[in-house]
Structure 1
Amino acid sequence: MKLYNAVRTDDILAVQSLLEDSEIDKEQALDFIPKTRFPPDDLSYLHVASSRDSPLVLKYFLEACDCDPCVKEKDGKPPYSMASNKEIKDIFIQFRVANPNKYNWLRSHIPEPQILSAEEEAKLAEKKKAKKAKQKEKQRAEKELAKKEEEERQEKARWLAMSERDRRGILVERRLAGLPLLTRCDQCATVIPDKPFQYETFKFCSPPCVNQHRAAVK
């Protein structure tokens, strides 16, 4: 059960420890893997690793334990046909490429690797390049946004810590410099884009900020 759970969770270190550090002969332990079947579907360990998205264990079983990728469960499916995602399928395909004469690959349902023409390779390379550029631009935009958010957070903190006199001084400086005047909420310091909510001389961005300010000064 420990071994089965380690396979299902792709815990390669636990799998290797249970097999290679076993009290029984290491060769016997590794030989045990290809022969084991699990009811009621007659699954092999390769079926389990393939269907449970366990890439590290799958490679280990194929390369170190000599597990046959052609074995089938009760409904006639080999391990490849139960692959949970592209990564798992690619491991099987790479194993076939490395061992072209080891098995009857037709029985395994593992396809031959796709051979691309020069034109197809160029298109694929261009597609990857465009994707990489898009990801880079996204990261740059996210970094810039994070920077602006941090600057705004710091500006809010400074504004809330200022005296009313200092705030008026900043507004005068902006007016003299020809910059747009920014009205900030007296509760949270958010810039107020439209007409503010007011009571007495205080200005706010929203009714909740008005209520919070009233409660704080009571």
Structure 2
Amino acid sequence: MADHPDKYNYSKALVPGPLTAELESKKTEKKRAQKVAKKTREKEQKEQRKRLEMEAEEKKRFASLSDREKRAQAAEKRLAEHQASTGGDLSNTRRCWQCGESLVGKVPFQYLDFSFCTPRCVQEHRKANVANRSRAGN
């Protein structure tokens, strides 16, 4: 049709417009753009599926933790946030009342207003307090 525009009655035959080199290049460019868009869309969908799988895996892992482990994880997260906001100074962290070990990343054992790193430290502190009270009472 592009080479012989008057040879046939193209409108009566319902033939679309002439196919020129310019139209062909536009079509190939459009197809190329569609292919690129499809690839990016598929890549985004793949990343979304991967994120959803990781989230489901994380939920499953978290659900399998004990309450103590969940509390410890929450405490570690709060501590990390606090350190990030204050510049990471560890000198102001909580320590065991008996041995002085840092309680960072641990769930402390509580006794009255005291925090300890292990049950052994709690027992030693109680024994020391009982000994001090009996001496003070005499």
Query: TM tier, shorter chain?
Result: 0.3 to 0.5
TM-score, normalised to structure 2's length?
Answer: 0.45
Q: Which has the larger radius of gyration?
A: 2
- Greater relative contact order (Cα 8 A, min sep 6): structure 1 or 2? 2
